[in-house]
Amino acid sequence: MKENFTKYGSMSALQTDPRCMHAQAIQTGITPAPQNRAFFNNLITLYSNSNLHSLALRLFNSIPCPNTVTWTSIISAFSASPLAVRLFLSMLRQSATILPNARTMASLLKTCAFLNYDSIGPQLQALSFKLSLYENAFVGSAFVSLYCKTRDLDSARKVFDELSERDEVCFGAIINGLAQNKRPIDALRCFADTRREDALSSFHSISGALCAAAGLAMLEQCRIIHGHAVAIGMDSDVYVGTGLIDGYGKCGLVEEARRVFDELEVGLNIAGWNAMMAGYAQQGSVDLVVELFRLMERRGMKPDEYSILAVLTAFCNAGMDMEAERWFNRMKLQHGLEPRIEHYTCLVGVLGRAGRLEEAEKVVSTMPYEPDAAVWRVLLSSCVSNRNADMALRMSSKLLEMDPHDDSALVILANAFASTERWDGVKEVWKMMNDKRLRKEIGRSWIEVRGSVCVFFAGDRRHPRKDEIYTKLAELMDEIENLGYVPILDEMLHEVDEEEKRVSLRHHSEKVAVAFGLLDGVTPPGKPLRIVKNLRICKDCHEAFRYICMLTKSEIIVRDAHRYHRLLNGTCNCGNIW
C-alpha cells in the first residue's frame, strides 16, 4: 500500500482532494488493473472519507475483478445506506472464491445497526459461523452492537458470552448496549468483569458504565468509575467527561458535575453542555440553566433540541409557565429548531400545573405529532393537582385507548376522583382494575450503601435489620408529630379506617428507606441521605421528610420519577411543585 502511494502520489496527497490523486494516476497512465488494485481500493476509501460517495461507486464499477478488499471498501463507504446490503449480496453472487472477511462483516453489521435491520442479524450470524468469522472479536463486537440496537439483549448477551477472546471493544459494546436498554445492573456487572478479565478499559466502556450508574442514581459507583478513569488517564476524555457530568447530575450532585464541567469546558462538545444543563434542570435551578445556555451561546456553540429541552424542563420543574411558553416559541423563531414531541410534553406539563388545562389540551390537539402516552399522562396528572375529575376521565380514556392494560391511567384517575372526594368514582376505578386484572405498579425506594443498593417496598420486612428499621421509623414519626406534622390522608379511600390509613402511610417505601438510612453506620456523618423512588413521591412522605430533616439536622435528597427534591431545614427546592 505504501509503495503504491509512493509510486502514484506522495503520502501528503492523502490529505488533499482524492480527485487530484485520481487525476494524477490517469495522467501517468495508471489504470484499475489487478496489479494496481491496492491503490484504487484505497482511493475508494478516500473518496468515501471526503463524502464523495458517487465518485467512489463510479470508481468501484470501473475496477475489473474486484477482490474482497475492494468489495469491503465500497461496502464500508455506504455503511449508512441500504446500498451496502445490496452490494454485499452482489459480492456473494459474484464468485465463490471471493468471500467476506471480518472487516466486511463488521461493516455490514454496522449498516444493519444503523438502519435497524433486525431480521438480517440471525442470517449474518449463520454466515459468519460458516466462514469461521464468529470468534473474531471485531465481528463479535459488531453483532453485540447490532442486537443491542435492535433491543434483542438476550442474543447480544449470548454472542458476548460465546466469544473466546473479549477485548475492550467487545466490553464497550455490551456495556453500552445494556446501559442504553435499561439494564443498568447487568451493565455494571459487565464493567466489573473487565477488571476481573484484565481487559483494557475504553472510553466506550467507562461512559457506558457511567450511564448505567446514572440511571440508578448510584453515586458511589459513579465515584468508583471516576477514580478508575483518573487512574488510567481517561478522565479528560470528552465522552468520559460527559458521562461524569451526566452521572453526577443524575445523582443529584450538581456541584460535583459542575466541577468536572469547569475542568473540561474548553474541550466539551454540545452533549457535555446539555448534560450539565439537564442536571440543573432536574433540580429546577432555572437561573443556572439559563446562565449556562447564555454562556454556551457566547462560546459560539449553537444550541440543539436537547439544549432547549433542558431549559423547558427547568421551567416546568419550577412551575414557570409564562417563561416556558416564551422559550418554546423562541425555539423555532430564534434558533431555527423544530420542536419535538418531548418539547410539547414539557409545555403541556407546565401549562397543566399552572391550572391552564384547556390551553394545555389545545396544545395537544394542535401539535404536529400524534399524542403519545407520555403527553396524555402528564395532562392526566395535571387534572389531579387541579382537582378536575371530569377532564381526568377523558384523559384516562385516551390512555386506555392506546393501551387497555395501562395501570397508570386508572391509578391517576382514582387519585383525581379522590382529590374531589368522589369516593364512588374511586371504588368504580378499583373495580375496573380488578375486572381487567390490573395491578398498580409497586412503589419501591432504594438507597446506596458502600456501592451496594438496598431496595425497599411498602411495609418491607426482608432486610436483616428490619427490627431496627421499624423501631427507628416509629420513633421518627412520633417525634415529627410532636413538631407539628399532620398526616395527609386525603388521597386514600374514604371508607378505610383512619388508623389503618395512618399505618399504611407510615410504612411507605420511601419512609422505610429513610429510616434505614438514619440507622448507625448506614449514611456517613455529615453526608446527605439519598433516596431514589421509581414513582412520584407522595404528598405525605414529602411533608414527613420536611419535618424529619428538621428533626435530624440532616439533608434528605429524593429522586422520584419526576425530579429531584432536596430537603434541608424544613424546605424543599421543589417549592411543592412536582
Q: Encode pLDDT of 247-258 as tens digits.
A: 999 988 899 999
Taking 90 as the threshold, does the pLDDT of residue 20 lie above it?
no
Q: How far apart are CA 176 and CA 169, in angstroms?
A: 11
- At 180, is the secondary structure helix, strand, or coil? helix
pLDDT, position 51 = 84
- At 316, is the secondary structure helix, strand, or coil? helix
Cβ within 8 Å of residue 196, ≥6 positions away? none
- At 249, is the secondary structure helix, strand, or coil? helix
Q: How far apart are CA 418 and CA 426, in angstroms?
A: 6
Q: How far apart are CA 40 and CA 46, in angstroms?
A: 10
pTM for this structure? 0.81
The full DSSP string for 332-387 is HHTT-----HHHHHHHHHHHHHTT-HHHHHHHHHHSSS---HHHHHHHHHHHHHTT
Nearest residue to 429 (alpha-carbon basis) of 493, 372, 373: 493
Q: Tell me, what amino acid is at 173?
A: A
Sign of CA dihedral 179, 182, 283, 356: positive
Q: How far apart are CA 81 and CA 209, in angstroms?
A: 30
Widest distance between CA atoms in the chain? 97
Taking 70 as the threshold, does the pLDDT of residue 462 lie above it?
yes
Taking 60 as the threshold, does the pLDDT of residue 577 lie above it?
yes
More confident residue, 13 or 469: 469
Rounded to the nearest angstrom, the gap between the alpha carbon of residue 120 and the centroid of all alpha carbons in its chain is: 26
pLDDT, position 449 = 84
pLDDT, position 28 = 80
Residue 511: strand pairing partners: none
Q: Encode pLDDT of 228-250 as tens digits.
A: 999 999 988 999 999 999 999 99
More confident residue, 138 or 6: 138
Q: How far apart are CA 494 and CA 477, in angstroms?
A: 23
> Which three cell numbers, joined as nine digits, stand for 51?
463524502
E-assigned strands of 228-267? none
Choice among 29-38, 448-457, 460-469, 526-535 with the minimum mean pLDDT: 29-38
User: Is 2 within 8 Å of 13 (Cβ atoms)?
Assistant: no
pLDDT, position 520 = 87
pLDDT, position 382 = 92
Q: Please tell me what DSSP assigns to residue 14.
A: G
| Mean pLDDT score across all residues of the chain | 88
Taking 50 as the threshold, does the pLDDT of residue 552 lie above it?
yes
Q: Encode pLDDT of 349-365 as tens digits.
A: 999 999 999 999 999 99
Rg (CA), the chain: 29
Q: How far apart are CA 134 and CA 125, in angstroms?
A: 7
Taking 70 as the threshold, does the pLDDT of residue 13 lie above it?
no
Q: How far apart are CA 59 and CA 389, in angstroms?
A: 68
pLDDT, position 493 = 53
Q: Encode pLDDT of 470-501 as tens digits.
A: 999 999 999 999 999 998 876 555 555 667 77
Nearest residue to 517 (alpha-carbon basis) of 442, 456, 566, 444: 456
Choice among 300-314, 440-454, 496-510 with the minimum mean pLDDT: 496-510
User: Is 144 within 8 Å of 160 (Cβ atoms)?
Assistant: yes
User: Is 302 within 8 Å of 296 (Cβ atoms)?
Assistant: no
CA distances from residue 402 to 360, 405, 489, 526 in whole angstroms, order as listed: 20, 9, 32, 48
Give the CA count within 13 Å in the CB-facing half-sphere of 209.
28
User: Is 315 within 8 Å of 289 (Cβ atoms)?
Assistant: no
Cβ within 8 Å of residue 149, ≥6 positions away? 113, 114, 116, 177
User: Is 305 within 8 Å of 346 (Cβ atoms)?
Assistant: no
Nearest residue to 203 (alpha-carbon basis) of 174, 231, 180, 169: 169
E-assigned strands of 41-106? none
pLDDT, position 6 = 44
Q: Please tell me what DSSP assigns to residue 472.
A: H
Choice among 207-211, 265-269, 295-299, 568-572 with the minimum mean pLDDT: 265-269
> Which three cell numbers, joined as nine digits, stand for 495?
371508607
φ, ψ for residue 113, nearest 5 deg: -65, -40
Q: Average pLDDT of 88-97?
A: 84
Q: How far apart are CA 183 and CA 155, in angstroms?
A: 14
φ, ψ for residue 290, nearest 5 deg: -65, -40
Confidence class for position 16, pLDDT limits 50, 70, 90: low
Q: Please tell me what DSSP assigns to residue 496.
A: S
Sign of CA dihedral 18, 24, 30, 35: negative
Q: How far apart are CA 347 and CA 76, in angstroms?
A: 42
Q: Encode pLDDT of 108-133 as tens digits.
A: 998 888 888 878 888 888 888 888 88
Q: How far apart are CA 359 and CA 325, in angstroms?
A: 11
